[in-house]
Amino acid sequence: MAPAIPTDVGAADDLFRAEDLAEGERRGISAAELRRQVGLLRSPPPPLVLVRPAVPGDGIERIQDYDVESLVAAHARAAAEGRFTAFVPASGAATRMFKSLLAVREARLTRRAELDRAADAGDRDAKDAAAFLQGLPRFAFLEALDAAVSARGQSLAERRAGDARPILDALLDHDALAYAETPKGLLAFHRYPDEVRTAFDEHLVEASALAADREHRVRLHMTVSPEHRAAFQARLEEVRSRREAASSGKLDVSFSFQDASTDTIAVDLEGKPVRGGDGRLLFRPGGHGALLANLNALGGDILYVKNIDNVVHDRLRGAVVRWRRILGGRLVALQEKIHGVLRDLESERRQEHAVAAGAELLERELRIALPADLAKGNLAKRVDLVRERLARPIRVCAMVRSQGDPGGGPFWVREPDGRITAQIVETAQVDRGNDAQRAIHSAATHFNPADMVLAVRDHHGEPYDLRRFVDASAVFIAEKSSGGRAIRALEHPGLWNGGMAGWTTLFVEVPAEIFQPVKAINDLLGPAHQPAP
């Protein structure tokens, strides 16, 4: 067990040098923020208090067949008005996808006979690598890999049956395909009769089906790493004419980067800020919660959010697009009700009616309990309470029935002020040492596929400042290593966890087949990523 970290933050000069504070200022991180981060790392906030899992009928809504037509129509109206933008986080490299291949190469376990024996003996990395080689003809990047192997004077077919090291080198080396250091969005995911599509290409196709306005303009925004921006832009120009011709649309694609001001620091096991070999503070990316700043700066209206690797082959796209239209329509319908109440609250003549309508919406549709004596309060206080509960950004979150999947799930959570709210909760936020809390967490029936629709403007059409609705205490503290030392690193409240803790939230059950992420290379051999057999 690691030693406890001291909780006394101490004086400024005990923590940081003048050059540390200057570096923070250059990054847009104030001295107060640096000290706040050390305080959180030394004395982490308490875990969330789970009340019960959200389940169908109690926090998770099931869309009825008779509602589908009206919801799809609501989506179509909003799309025609140009209200939708697809927002896709795409910053990370694909290194984890190739973990097993990197491991067997490092272990020099690349001869096919040895690899198969290790796989039969239960070596997971060997088993994955053997499956990769067996399925090689089915990957969309086969031709590119064949060319890369041939350029090094080798034969793909021969090496596949013998020593596979040249195949792995051609796939992974920096001077060849360099797939392990390439962004996931730029990897060849799917094969079609007349083209090979990357994950980025598939998001362009999906956005064209979801976000095109009446002028056929399609808005898509991606967060990328600065060093990969040029490659994404080049791919966009390479496929633009094909994609626009196929959809009769006009692609309006923009990019942004994770701002340096969202980086965070780490501490060692004595609670001292970690420094690199040059003596300077070690700054690290602040996790996906840092992308809230990108969302905030975008100033959009309604945003579809989905991870870069969650795409499907065209033959399954119909179901995905249908359900994402339903989710978008459900958000539009909910927003119209909420904005109607908020507008009526501003009219003295309609305030009494608006308070009653708002209370019914909160309790029946959103299942948010209000004070039992609400009706007894004076009108001004009741107006303020309903307005405070409803004047928030809105999110409709897809939820998939769990089949042992890792990741966060939907729960009812007790807030420090006693209120119970709907939240997406990660395992790291749960007190696993508490038997009752662990039992509630284990009773979850659904998990979060990170597929959401967000409404980020108020009833006057002005963008919310999304920073106002963050639970700043809902940080993640990760055990890492740096230069052989154990450290504790800070991540900002997760984008769909603490980063949206104060949003109006609705969970909607969706079928599992619309969630088809590619976390490991062999996932591309699954039916969702292959042409029809």
Nearest one of 261, 298, 378, 270 to 24, comparing CA atoms: 261
What is the distance between the alpha carbons of residues 296 and 463, in angstroms, rounded to a whole number? 8
Dihedral in degrees, nearest 10, Cα atoms 227, 233, 238, 244: 150
Query: What is the C-alpha separation between 506 and 334, in angstroms, rounded?
Result: 9
Assess whether pLDDT exceeds 70 at residue 10.
no
The conformation of residue 182, written as its DSSP 8-state character, comes to S
Q: Is the pLDDT of residue 116 over 50?
A: yes
Closest CA to 27 of 262, 287, 322, 366: 262
Give CATH 3.90.550.10 domain extents, the chain.
30-82+192-318+392-511+529-533
Q: What is the mean pLDDT of residues 59-68?
A: 96
Distance CA 451, CA 460 (A): 27
pLDDT at 343: 97
Q: Are 264 and 283 in contact (CB under 8 A)?
A: yes
Instruction: Note the pLDDT tens digit of each residue in 70-115.
Output: 999 999 999 999 999 999 999 878 899 999 999 999 999 999 999 9
Instruction: Output the six-digit token pair for 194.
Output: 């007349």
Tokens of 202: 């598939």
3-class secondary structure, 265 = strand
Instruction: Please check the confidence at residue 4 and state whether its pLDDT lies above 70.
Output: no
Estimate the share of the chain in helix, then strand, then coil, as percent rounded to the nearest 5: 45, 20, 35
Cα-trace Rg, the chain:
25
Distances (CA, A) of 412 to 48, 49, 60: 10, 9, 11
What tokens does 165 get?
């090291």
Q: pLDDT tens digits, residue range 178-218?
A: 999 999 999 999 999 999 999 999 999 999 999 999 999 99
Question: Is pLDDT of 141 > 60?
Answer: yes
What pLDDT, on the 0 to 100 scale, is given for residue 106?
95
Cβ–Cβ under 8 Å, residues 502 and 368: no
Domain 30-82+192-318+392-511+529-533 has CATH 3.40.50.2300: no
* Average pLDDT value for the chain: 93
Nearest to 448 by CA among 325, 286, 307, 332: 307
Q: How far apart are CA 112 and CA 64, in angstroms?
A: 52
**What is the rounded CA–CA span in Å between residue 427 and residue 409?**
9
pLDDT at 2: 41
Distance CA 194, CA 305 (A): 29
DSSP bridge pairs for 447: 400
Rounded Cα–Cα distance for residues 307 and 305 (Å): 7
Structure confidence at residue 456 (pLDDT): 98
| pLDDT tens string 168-185 | 999 999 999 999 999 999
Asked whether the beta carbons of 447 and 402 are under 8 A apart, the reply is: yes
- 388 exposure class (CB count in 10 Å sphere: 0-12, 13-18, 19+): exposed
pTM for this prediction = 0.93
**Mean pLDDT computed over 409-417:** 95
Nearest-angstrom CA–CA distance, 74 and 78:
6
**CA–CA distance, 28 with 532 (Å, rounded to integer):** 51
Alpha helices in 81-214 (DSSP H): 99-106, 112-120, 124-134, 142-150, 156-161, 165-172, 199-210
Neighbours of 421 (CB within 10 A): 20
The gap from C-alpha 524 to its chain's centroid, in whole angstroms, comes to 20
